[in-house]
Amino acid sequence: AQSVTQLDSQVPVFEEAPVELRCNYSSSVSVYLFWYVQYPNQGLQLLLKYLSGSTLVKGINGFEAEFNKSQTSFHLRKPSVHISDTAEYFCAVTSYNQGGKLIFGQGTELSVKP
Amino acid sequence: DAGVIQSPRHEVTEMGQEVTLRCKPISGHNSLFWYRQTMMRGLELLIYFNNNVPIDDSGMPEDRFSAKMPNASFSTLKIQPSEPRDSAVYFCASSYRGGNTIYFGEGSWLTVV
């Protein structure tokens, strides 16, 4: 069975500071990894994904994530956050044999303060 | 391009009433997913379809919940009778089978009082 653990439920940070949102996964097969963002009262929007190839993945809004197979991690980073990045962020995993089913972490609430 | 379209966006209903949530997947996508989001349980997969056929409904909480996909462009999730604990955001999502990215709708906010 696959699982995802987001290590921080809430991350407060000041505007223009760097941020890292942590995600660890568990799987017995090769994985595909995703980060989604959910702004208040909205649906989930894909930030970035890792399918194969380069372990450093760049997404929208200046976010990037690094796949680390040995540490089974897929941490999300941004060098300088904006107030508008305040949202809930979800890490998710699937694999070739899951029919596209995504398993989500519990989410990390990023709160950017002025 | 139109994304995944869900209706209604918000619904408030009384306990015991039937609730029907609707979803139109992205044109050309042949996999459709229904997820539920609550504070306590996060995002849970309820059921998914490939080519209009239910593949895995193990996440459907109980017999009060049912889902159908009569054609490639429409799906429903029905709750009958509804209970207050069904209050949640219900997301529909779609993907192209063989692809690796799932696209979500804006969600249906359900409140059962």
Q: Are strands A44-50 and A32-38 parallel, antiparallel or unpaired?
A: antiparallel
pLDDT score of B106 more than 80? yes
Band (A29; pLDDT cuts 50, 70, 90)? confident
Interface residue A78 vs chain B (CB under 8 A):
no
A-chain CB neighbours of B103 within 8 Å are 46
> Which positions 80-99 of A are in contact with B (Cβ < 8 Å)?
90, 94, 99
Band (B99; pLDDT cuts 50, 70, 90)? low
**CATH classification of the domain holding A61:** 2.60.40.10
Provide the domain count of chain A.
Answer: 1
Chosen for mutation from A23, A33, A44, A67 (greatest number of chain B CBs closer than 10 Å) is A44
SS3 A92: strand
d(CA A114, CA A112): 7
pLDDT recorded at residue B84:
96
d(CA B35, CA B42): 10
What count of Cα atoms within 13 Å lies in the side-chain half-sphere of residue B79? Answer: 25
> Which positions 5-64 of A are in contact with B (Cβ < 8 Å)?
32, 34, 36, 41-46, 49, 51
pLDDT score of A100 more than 80? no
Task: Tell how many helices (H) and how many strands (E) occur in chain A.
Answer: 0, 12
Q: What is the pLDDT of residues B58-86, one digit of tens each?
A: 999 889 999 999 999 999 999 999 999 99
pLDDT score of A62 more than 80? yes
pLDDT recorded at residue A42:
87
SS3 B61: coil
What is the average per-residue pLDDT within B18-26? 97
Q: Are strands A10-14 and A108-113 parallel, antiparallel or unpaired?
A: parallel
B-chain CB neighbours of A59 within 8 Å are none
A-chain CB neighbours of B107 within 8 Å are 42-43
What is the average per-residue pLDDT within A2-24? 96
Subunit contact A46:B107, Cβ cutoff 8 A: no
Q: The domain containing residue A103 runs over which residues?
A: 3-113
Subunit contact B100:A49, Cβ cutoff 8 A: yes
pLDDT recorded at residue B62:
85
Subunit contact B101:A45, Cβ cutoff 8 A: no
Residues in CB range of A83: below 8 A, 6 or more apart: A15, A112, A114
Q: What is the pLDDT of residues B37-53, one digit of tens each?
A: 998 888 999 999 999 99
Instruction: Say if CB A26 and CB A77 are below 8 A apart.
Output: no
pLDDT > 90: what percent of chain A?
79
pLDDT score of A1 more than 90? no
A-chain CB neighbours of B43 within 8 Å are 90, 104, 107
Cα-Cα-Cα-Cα torsion A53, A56, A57, A60, nearest 10 degrees, comes to -160
Band (B98; pLDDT cuts 50, 70, 90)? low
Instruction: Say if CB A54 and CB A48 are below 8 A apart.
Output: no
Between chain A and chain B, the number of residue pairs with CB atoms below 8 A apart is: 50
Residue of chain B with shortest Cα separation from A97 = B98
pLDDT recorded at residue A2:
86
Task: Tell how many helices (H) and how many strands (E) occur in chain B.
Answer: 0, 11
Please name every residue paired with B61 in a beta bridge, in sequence order, or none if there are none: none
d(CA A18, CA A78): 6
